[in-house]
Amino acid sequence: MANGPMDRRAFGERPNGQGGPGMGQGTEYTGRYVILLDPSNQESGLNALRSSADIASVERVRGAEVGNVSELLERPDVSVHFEEIGAAVVEVRSDQRHALVTTAEAEPTILAAEPERMVYAMPITAPTQAPTEFYPAYRSDEEIVDRHTRAEIAAAQGPASDEQSFTWGLQAIRANLSHLTGRGVKVAVLDTGVDITHPDLVGCIEDTMSFVVGEAVEDGNGHGTHCIGTVAGPAKPQQGPRYGVACDARILAGKVLNNGGSGADGQILAGMAWAVARGARVISMSLGGLVRPGELFPQTYEILAQRALERGTVIVAAAGNDSDRPPVIHPVSRPANCPSILAVAALDRALTPSFFSNGGINGQGGEINIAAPGRDVRSAAPRGRYQNLNGTSMATPHVAGVLALLAEANPNGSATDLVARLKAGAFPLAQPVRDVGSGLLQAP
């Protein structure tokens, strides 16, 4: 994951077509800005913004003591400074935005300043598996699914696997053959929360935190519970085959998306700061926002991902589900398009890219790093149930689980070492690197 160039001229840039109620209709902004500060001199950057752009009063969040951060992020009279990661989400009047951007360009202790965007959960929900309204916030993909006949879908899924003991996904990545379990490795899943009473998951939850105002960590959506199950579901589930990659990993469940499946960059940053402070070796994010052809990766997420790597934490994110293959391939979504974040593509049972999976068509970041099972993925669902879902969201926690296995096997290994081992262990596929990166994920 070579680091891409930082372009200070991109400060404050907004792509065309902002706004719209869903990802398919354009990028949505909150009106706030995300600021990245020099970690050795954070106060100077904030002082510069106070004096020149009249930003709202700053409330500090230190380490894992996040307290009432969800309420702070909702207040229009407060800017929030996450000291753990050297980032701030600032409120600024509309008539002061130009001053903020100008100050950020000139002030050496401000490393990046970008408009805060909305992000969304990333499932593809087939009508035969769950009602579409179960995940209303990202976008409805019924019309895409409908354009692919049942015969095409069946062909893409390939021959049926014997799933009496293990899901097809665990068999494909050879997790069923691994002696490793991820014992003691902390994996943060930043998503819609978790069903904390699910009988398969009660034993793997290390800690929980909600960064959504007015909503407990309890998962009213299902997306987060499904992802957490794929990472750390038990060796012997209450029902059906084993579906969890790292059954002894310890889960940090951060609710950064509301029950509708949407959130803002500030909530994601809050979750990242909490996860790093709590000692997560892996952060799994099955979420993202639309990226247009030629659009650069977000500097804020890239710098934070670099800082996380330096502290021993690998960040994994979903590549996105905007494509309609074969004719249409969309770029990798943000923040997965950052060079220092692992971007995960989705594969069908036939080990070919799923029709919805985005591809590495943008330069300067935006590559696919690895591919994992993302079609017909069985995992936990709210109210003690189970569900099969599709999406790069479902592929991503497979990768997070394998990273937990690698961390168990290499407890003193750096984050970059874990990434190198992950890529080196992938099984090469015939498809272009643009679509599958290093290849099919493999458990050690």
Q: How far is CA 235 from CA 92, 166, 247, 250, 314, in A?
A: 50, 9, 6, 14, 24
d(CA 22, CA 20): 6
User: Is 191 among the catalytic positions?
Assistant: yes
User: For 109, phi and psi rounded to 5 degrees?
Assistant: -85, 0
Phi first, then psi: give them for residue 372, nearest 5 degrees: -150, 165
CB half-sphere exposure, 19, CA atoms < 13 A:
1
> Any residues with CB less than 8 A from the CB of 306 and at least 6 apart, and which?
3, 340
Catalytic residue check, 398: no
Distance between CA atoms of residues 189 and 257, nearest Å: 11
Whether the bond into 335 is cis, omega within 30 of 0: yes
Residue in 70, 210, 354, 393 annotated catalytic = 393
The secondary structure of 185-206 as a DSSP string is -EEEEEES-B-TT-TTTTTTEE
Q: How far is CA 173 from CA 11, 93, 263, 310, 348, in A?
A: 41, 50, 31, 28, 12
What's CA 225's distance to the chain center, in Å? 14
Q: Alpha helices, DSSP H only, in 135-240? A: 142-146, 150-157, 168-172, 223-232
Q: Is 322 a catalytic residue?
A: no
Of the listed 191, 200, 348, 376, which one is catalytic? Answer: 191
Burial label, 280 (beta-carbon count in 10 A; 0-12, 13-18, 19+): buried
Which neighbouring-strand residues pair with 427? 440
Contact 271, 254 (CB under 8 A): yes
Candidate list 81, 223, 226, 398, residue with the active-site label: 223
Q: What's the CA gap between 176 and 246, in Å, rounded?
A: 10
Which among 381, 244, 392 has a CA at the least distance from the CA of 316? 392
Active site positions, annotated: 191, 223, 393
